[in-house]
Amino acid sequence: MNLSPGRNGKPLGILLVEDDDGDAKAIQRAFEKTNAASIIKRAVDGIEALEILRSAPSKSQLPDPRILLVDLDMPRMNGTQFIKAVREDANLRHSIVFVLTTSKREEDKMAASDLNVAGYISKATAREDFLNLINLLNCYWHIVEIP
């Protein structure tokens, strides 16, 4: 499976917002195994993620369009707070957001839905095979029309 460049010929920009080193490394290894045409950056919390997204394009090196993979339970600024900040920022609000979390709380799912996330993915399911996550992103990247 290979994530080829999208319709515009650009690589996929992925910001992984994840405080757990083990999960982050597993996701990054899965992308490496697929030789994905993607640029992956990692932030350990929402504050660092916003700094990356708001930095000058030459500094962040994260191309548009971008997909944000966001954990909910993080220090300093949790995932829900981060997604709210993204949705309130005119320059970021069109980012494609997937929640990637261990939370099974119904209120977290509803809050994510209210924030217009593209998907809510359980780490318990994805952890078994992070390649499934990449397959999901590949389908999304090639099927969905991005303005």
Token reading at 86? 């993204």
Q: Report the alpha-carbon distance of residue 77 to residue 11 in Å, rounded.
A: 28
Residue type, 138: N
> Do the Cβ atoms of 143 and 136 come closer than 8 Å?
no
Q: Which of 13-17, 31-35, 55-59, 69-73 has the lowest mean pLDDT?
A: 55-59
Max CA-CA distance within the chain? Answer: 39
CATH placement of domain 12-143:
3.40.50.2300
Average predicted confidence (pLDDT) for the chain: 79
The pTM score is 0.81
Token reading at 116? 């217009």
Q: Which helix (H) or strand (E) holds 38?
A: strand 38-43
- Residues shown for the chain: 147
Which residue from 60, 61, 64 is spatially nearest to 92, judged by alpha carbons? 64
Which residue from 71, 78, 64, 65 is spatially nearest to 42, judged by alpha carbons? 71
Bond from prior residue into 5 cis (ω within 30 degrees of 0): no
Mean pLDDT of 23-30: 82
User: Residue 58 has what pLDDT?
Assistant: 59
Q: Report the alpha-carbon distance of residue 98 to residue 81 in Å, rounded.
A: 14
Q: Which of 11-15, 19-23, 56-60, 109-113 has the lowest mean pLDDT?
A: 56-60
